[in-house]
Structure 1
């Protein structure tokens, strides 16, 4: 493995996987998932939503804000923002991908706003449709019918409209009220160490009372990826990627990172992204969010030097080109060949399922 002085001895390299014990019986995961994804031969691909979240325009705004902050610090005029020193337990760079959610209180206001907005427009559409039919076929006067409809509509629309308005007011005007970090992260994929960590907030099924957070950690190559399928409220299939340890009860549900949907291709693309991100024999995935960190990862820096990659490839990209690349990524995800690949991990471990 290259750059051993930077990467830990436990770092993952696709060509340096050790022989492992026979996999354990895992009925607990098989109750959730029936499809295990093959290891190896990942495409240079990621869910298209990963691209869309970090457009060149957003990168330029971030660069401008960072530059202004540095200038203000140098001039002694900088004033930190309310949330600058708050730890939200999130990190996504050349060393690790650590994931966390907002607190329950934060989600309350987000749900109040989003659900209220959806229900208002949905209810308005239904009411307009029904009201039109009532007015056409009404036996009483038009004015009386319209008055009755208005009274009913004020109640039906008023509640979701009020939820929408209150949620938007709090989110837009009172960030200190709703922007609150959770207790800690949920999981971490560490490229530099090659370890996967699930943060444990329970002890024997009970929430820990002393505030400590346990850590369940194992090498990346000891995990397998699964696609679990479950029906939504309408009976439509929802597919989500899981990462499950081969020998212990350690599991990551990536449903919060990548929204479950009817297609299996996005979870497969996420599995390719994870393999590429963790593999220190390969450069970091060439995605907008990692451009500012590429020179800090030795394998990536050497790759960029040899290939002559433009260090401002993403940040200087015009909107039309970026839109075309996003469209191409959607197409590549749609055509992914995951289930046609051999499982290369089978050369290092014997599976019992």
Structure 2
């Protein structure tokens, strides 16, 4: 394990997993419509949405903002935005992958804008053939029919979603104080430096209601297994989502907010590969845009980059056309992932009873 003075003794290394006790037989609810994924033999892949989240264009934009801020700080002219002082409980760097969700009040405006936009488009597109058919069936002129339908029908069908879209867009763009608010705290954390997984407990901890103290359920990463859970959507289509479940305690993470449930299992498998690669300190950090500015701070990654001569601005200086090609290639690699053909390497350290 590289640089033990920086990594905690509990840090996870894929070649240094301790022997563990056999877990109890899983309850039927944990076996029903859930497939356990094997450990090890990971590919250098991730769910494509995590790659697309930070494009080189965005990285350059953030770099410019950071540079401008540092220049103003140096000349004592910097006036920090009030939002910079808010702890949103989100962190994704060389040490921690900590996830938090915006509060319901924030999601209200975001959903109003998104759903208003798409409902308007869908309603508008589907109303066109119906409108054309009515013109050929009634004796009214095109203008009279359109005017009457707008008053009695289109004003509701199109007007309400258009109003929601406009109102949501105005609030999101011009009134950030109405929707940019921190959540009560983080939901889960994967810690590369310590090798620990933490689920933050609000419901079963009386101290949170009393004084705001958040409970923490923590265990080593190697004591968890990944599962793909399948459930039907409203149309009966199977939707798959990745879970991380502790073998010995009731600690579970649903990654559905990070990677939306979908009909394909490959994206969830790719996310499991990414998680293993991120937590494994015997390997460098996953080479993704969001980690480029942190790579020199992680000992294993810094040594790997020095050895191969990696360009420290590989992502940030990438042109848009090349990045689009990289994204397309990642989609293809995810589609071809071989997770279910791999042996479960964790079986060498723990005896599964089911």
User: TM over 0.5: same fold?
Assistant: yes
Q: What is residue 211 of structure 1 aligned with on the other side?
A: 212
How far apart in 2 are the matches of 1:96 and 1:36? 25
Residues 144 and 328 of structure 1: is their aligned pair in 2 closer, same or farther, counting only changes over 3 Å?
closer
Flag structure 2 segments of 5+ consecutive residues without an equivalent.
Answer: none
How far apart in 2 are the matches of 1:80 and 1:348? 51
Q: What is residue 348 of structure 2 aligned with on the other side?
A: 347
Q: What is residue 183 of structure 1 aligned with on the other side?
A: 184
How far apart in 2 are the matches of 1:29 and 1:272? 25
How many angstroms does 1:208 deviate by? 3.4
Residues 140 and 288 of structure 1: is their aligned pair in 2 closer, same or farther, counting only changes over 3 Å?
closer
Structure-to-structure mapping, 1:40-55, within 5 angstroms = 40-55=40-55
Residues 204 and 186 of structure 1: is their aligned pair in 2 closer, same or farther, counting only changes over 3 Å?
closer
Count of residue pairs the alignment pairs up: 353
Q: Is the 8 A contact 1:17 1:221 kept in 2?
A: yes
Structure-to-structure mapping, 1:69-80, within 5 angstroms = 69-80=69-80
How many angstroms does 1:147 deviate by? 3.1
How many angstroms does 1:205 deviate by? 10
How far apart in 1 are the matches of 2:81 and 2:28? 46
Match of 2:84, SS state, is coil
How far apart in 2 are the matches of 1:283 and 1:262? 31
Match of 2:82, SS state, is coil
Match of 1:84, SS state, is helix
How far apart in 1 are the matches of 2:287 and 2:97? 15
Q: Is the 8 A contact 1:10 1:193 kept in 2?
A: yes
68-77 or 320-329: bigger deviation: 320-329
Residues 227 and 51 of structure 1: is their aligned pair in 2 closer, same or farther, counting only changes over 3 Å?
same
Residues 235 and 312 of structure 1: is their aligned pair in 2 closer, same or farther, counting only changes over 3 Å?
same
Structure-to-structure mapping, 1:293-332, within 5 angstroms = 293-332=294-333
Q: What is residue 241 of structure 1 aligned with on the other side?
A: 242
Q: What is residue 271 of structure 1 aligned with on the other side?
A: 272
Q: Is the 8 A contact 2:33 2:231 kept in 1?
A: no
Q: Is the 8 A contact 1:33 1:226 kept in 2?
A: no
Q: Is the 8 A contact 2:241 2:254 kept in 1?
A: yes
151-160 or 89-98: bigger deviation: 151-160
How far apart in 2 are the matches of 1:108 and 1:209? 28
TM-score (norm 2): 0.96
Match of 2:331, SS state, is helix
Q: What is residue 225 of structure 1 aligned with on the other side?
A: 226
Residues 205 and 31 of structure 1: is their aligned pair in 2 closer, same or farther, counting only changes over 3 Å?
farther
Indicate the RMSD between aligned Cα atoms, in angstroms.
1.6
Residues 101 and 204 of structure 1: is their aligned pair in 2 closer, same or farther, counting only changes over 3 Å?
closer
How far apart in 2 are the matches of 1:31 and 1:51? 31
